[in-house]
Structure 1
Amino acid sequence: MIIKVCGMRDADNIRDISALGVDMIGLIFYPPSPRYVQQFSSGAGIIPDYAPDMGKTPLRVGVFVDDMPQNIVTRVYNYKLDYIQLHGNEPRETLENLRATIDPDIKPKIKIIKAISVSSAEAIKKYKEYVGAADLFLFDTKCKTVGGSGEQFDWQVLQAYDGDVPFLLSGGIGPDDVERIKNFHHPKCIGIDLNSKFEIEPALKDVEKLKQFLVKVKK
């Protein structure tokens, strides 16, 4: 199971969370978000220098909402992003153009996640617009804000998803959801996205709370 921890900003906190063995770290480049990562040259002060003995380091995911392509390209370069996550109403052409611009000159084999806001089984059909353009989908709760709301949706509506592209489950997942996660089954669900339910404050994750959760969910 892939574990993605989104909405991070503090270098020390990123280092501590990474040491838990998570697979992905999400950096949010959306100014209205309380977890917004402001632009720093080459990611100074954000991306930690990992210790040589740390082993595998998590993949870096940049989260964008209807942003200008040049802003996205710049952040892929500055933060050495492995994934682009598009969380707005971006058309399919945006995904295709970003990939053509970035791969291979800026980041070879860049991966793209398209977030789909879920309110019903019908809403899931939105994914069809992005088949062949997205490497991964992320199903999140539809709400007034963009991500990090702490609100959940009925996961059973995801049984309506009949695509071949794998997806991450997102939306208000917290420490009390261990059994619910274990009981959820879909052949294309490959992981979960964690954020606000593991925070001390916006962009600062509770390392011990996340550690305990990971032990339980991986049993």
Structure 2
Amino acid sequence: MSIAPPFLVKICGLSTPETLRAALDGGADMIGLVFHPKSPRFITLERAVELAAIARGKAEIVALTVDWTEKQTTELVEALNPDWLQLHGRETPEQTAALRRASGRRVMKALGVAEAGDLAAIAAYRDVADRILLDAKPPKDAAFPGGHGRPFDWTVLADLDPGLPFMLGGGLDPANVAEAIRVNRPAGVDVSSGVESAVGVKDPARIVEFIAAARKAAAAVQEGLTA
């Protein structure tokens, strides 16, 4: 399994101009805006449009939705003009393909992972999503999807198809992202709670620290592969 350049860093759940600028100044490739009302990182469309205006041309804008209809999705795309849709719910492969067609946007499908058997779902999405995000499965009683700040057992990815350029999320933070990259060699990493000072409150310093650690680790892995 190898890292295919360019390595991507995504900061998700941004909600203020200050933290967005920290992500941009730190060199984030993608910024995520959350539209799931139950998430502590939920923002209104009005705020999202303001943030997108700051980010446009500097990083790719990702709109995160959970089990939305085609109508909801196309209306969001018309208002926000994101570069990507991140589908973080129970969207089937058929629904994923339909949303991709209707929106005219690239689609990232998040799949929850807790054990090796969860990886079987990847096959059905590879041809209908532009990118796969492997995230930690939420607790059974969770009110919203995502890793909830907890990494999954990365050893389950040992038998993953080395040709799959996936992004890795779930419990990543400035302290463990280098190890995650070294062990898993993803094409990119996605962080949200790992760069927060409190639930839903991003920390600009942690954002910059995370991006720097991820870039350094990815460069070291790539250098080792080409040496």
2: CA distance between counterparts of 1:101 and 1:72?
8
Counterpart in the other structure of 1:125? 120
CA apart distance, 1:7? 0.7
Alpha-carbon displacement from aligned partner over 1:28-83 (angstroms, at most 9, x marks no partner): 11111111122328x444334369xxxx6110111111122211222222121111
Is 1:84 equivalent to 2:85 in the alignment? yes
Native 8 Å contact 1:151 1:172 kept in 2: yes
CA contact (8 A) 2:63 2:84 kept: yes
Q: 1:65 corresponds to which letter in structure 2?
A: V
Counterparts in 2 of 1:27 and 1:148: CA distance versus 1, 3 Å: farther
Cα distance in 1 for partners of 2:118, 2:80 equals 33
What is the root-mean-square deviation in Å for CA atoms of aligned residues?
2.1
CA distance in 2, matches of 1:165, 1:91: 19
The answer to which of 9-18 and 60-69 deviates more is 9-18
What residue is the counterpart of 1:47 in the other structure?
A: 52
1:208 counterpart = 2:205: yes
Please tell me whether residue 157 in structure 1 is matched to residue 156 in structure 2.
yes
1:202 CA displacement? 3.9
Deviation, 1:9, is: 1.5
Whose helix fraction is larger, Structure 1's or Structure 2's?
2
Secondary structure of 1:112's aligned partner: strand
Q: Which has the higher contact order (CA 8 A, sep 6+)?
A: 2
Q: Which residue of 1 aligns with 2:134?
A: 139
* Contact 1:4/1:23 (8 A) holds in 2: yes
Unaligned runs of 5+ in 1: 104-109
TM-score between both structures, scaled by the size of structure 2:
0.82
- Aligned amino acid, residue 101 of structure 1: A
Asked if the contact 2:136/2:147 (under 8 Å) is kept, the reply is no
Unaligned stretches of 5+ in structure 2? 1-6, 217-227
- 1:19-98 equivalent positions in 2, closer than 5 A: 19-40=25-46, 43-49=48-54, 57-98=58-99
Residue 2 in structure 1 maps to residue 1 in structure 2: no
Q: How far apart, CA to CA, are the structure 2 residues paired with 1:50 and 1:135?
A: 21
Displaced runs of 4 or more, over 4 A: none
Write out per-residue CA displacement over residues 147-187 of structure 1, whole angstroms, 9 at most, x where no aligned residue.
1500110111112322744211100101210441342144x
**What number of residue pairs does the alignment pair up?**
206
- State the alpha-carbon separation in 2 of the partners of residues 24 and 205 from structure 1: 15
Instruction: Report the Cα distance in structure 2 between the residues aligned to 1:178 and 1:190, rounded to whole angstroms.
Output: 13
| Deviates further, 10-19 or 84-93 | 10-19
The alignment status of 1:195 with 2:223, answered yes or no, reads: no
Instruction: State the TM-score, normalizing by the size of structure 1.
Output: 0.85
Q: In 2, are the aligned partners of 1:6 and 1:26 still within 8 Å (CA)?
A: yes
CA distance in 1, matches of 2:199, 2:77: 23
Percent identical pairs in the alignment equals 30
